[in-house]
Each structure stands twice: as structure tokens, then as C-alpha cells.
Amino acid sequence: MPRLPCGRSCTADNSLIIRYKAERNDPMENKTTEAPGGKKRGRFNFIDFILIAVALVALGVLVYIVVGPKASKTAQPATFSVQYTVEIKHLREDWRDLIGIGDVVTDADSLTTIGTVTDISYQNELCSSYDSRTGEVIYVEHPDYVTMRVTIETDSVTKTENGYLAGKKEFCIGTSVALRLPKLRIDSYCKSIEVIGEVNKDAVN
């Protein structure tokens, strides 16, 4: 009777050999694999992918709820109420009544509203002259002309690197402002700027 290399008889029960071959030929029979440490490791399937995706979406929603409103709030620029004064030189005296308190002022260059007139003052224009008797420069009143100062108030002004932005007009002390009023269009220069209030106090500067 022939024998196997291990010494067993060929007529011995060969069910173990058949089962061994079947397992080698059909790897799908094993539902688990062994990790290097000898531990069994489960396979990654579609259900696991769905659960992970749902968890990530939930985490994203939670982060947006907690952080999103604060980020939007921080992004809003602070806006102010500003009172600024412009000076109009060499204005004809008979034109001074063409500017009145309550007039809406528009920037003639950008055609955006830049405030409302709240105060007006003027004085006779002075011009330099030479006194031949003393050899000194003197200042005398220029007939028929005045220098006018107009105070304008506006809301929703934002701070910029160089000054303030009202509508599309950025201005600071010394800049030219082309005024467009209901009865007059004339050039002026900004003499002073004063912040009189903050419009949106919750915003960050």
C-alpha cells in the first residue's frame, strides 16, 4: 500500500486535503484577513464609506454653525457718521446764497451722494498786496468775493488707509472735493474731518 511523505496511508481520509485545496482556490470564502500581528482585520466596505461621509458632513455643518457667523461678522467693515468741512475760495459774493443748509451734496466726479450741508460760514476774501511806502506785503479785502466754509455731515463712511470713503469718494484733509449742489457746482478743499458717531458698533475696525 503506497504511503504519503508524512507516513500516512493513501487510503486515509483525504477530506482535509480536499478542504485545503478548496480554500486555496476560493479566497472569497474567508471574510477576514490576518494582520501582521496575527490579529484578524475586517474588510472596508461601502457601508463604512457612507458612515464616514455622513460623519464628515455633520462635522462640517457644526464648524460652520460655530465659526461661520463670527467670521461673517468680523468681515464687515466699521462705518461711521462723519462731519467734514470744505473751503471754497474766490466765490462771488452774489453766489453765496446758492448754497443752503439742508442741501444734499453730490461728488461731481463719481456722482455719488457725500452728505448734507449742516452749517455755512464765510468771510471777505483777502488778497496780498505790496505797500510801496513801507515795502511790506499786506493783505486787503478783495471786493465782491468771499471765502466760504461749508460743513457737511454723512453716514455710512468707512475708514481707509489714507482717510475716509463716502460713497465712491475718498477724502482726507487737503484733498479736493468737487461739490455738486442743487443750485451750484464748484470746487473746494477739505479742511477738517471729525468722526461724530459709529453706525454699526458690532463691526470690527
- One-letter amino acid at 194 equals E
- Rounded CA-CA distance 205/127 in Å is 44
Mean pLDDT of the chain: 79
Please give the model's pTM, rounded to 2 decimal places: 0.59
Domain ranges of the chain: 27-75, 79-198
Residue 201: closest CA among 67, 68, 73, 71: 73
The answer to whether 170 touches 164, Cβ cutoff 8 Å, is yes
pLDDT in tens, 58-112: 888 887 787 665 555 555 678 889 999 999 999 999 999 999 999 999 999 999 9
Identify the CATH assignment for 79-198 out of 3.30.750.24, 3.40.50.1220, 2.40.30.110, 3.40.1160.10. 2.40.30.110
Distance of alpha carbon 82 from its chain centroid, rounded? 21
Give every residue of the chain whose pLDDT is below 50, as ranges: 3-4, 7, 9-12, 27-32, 203-205
* Residue positions counted in the chain: 205
Q: What is the pLDDT of residue 139?
A: 85
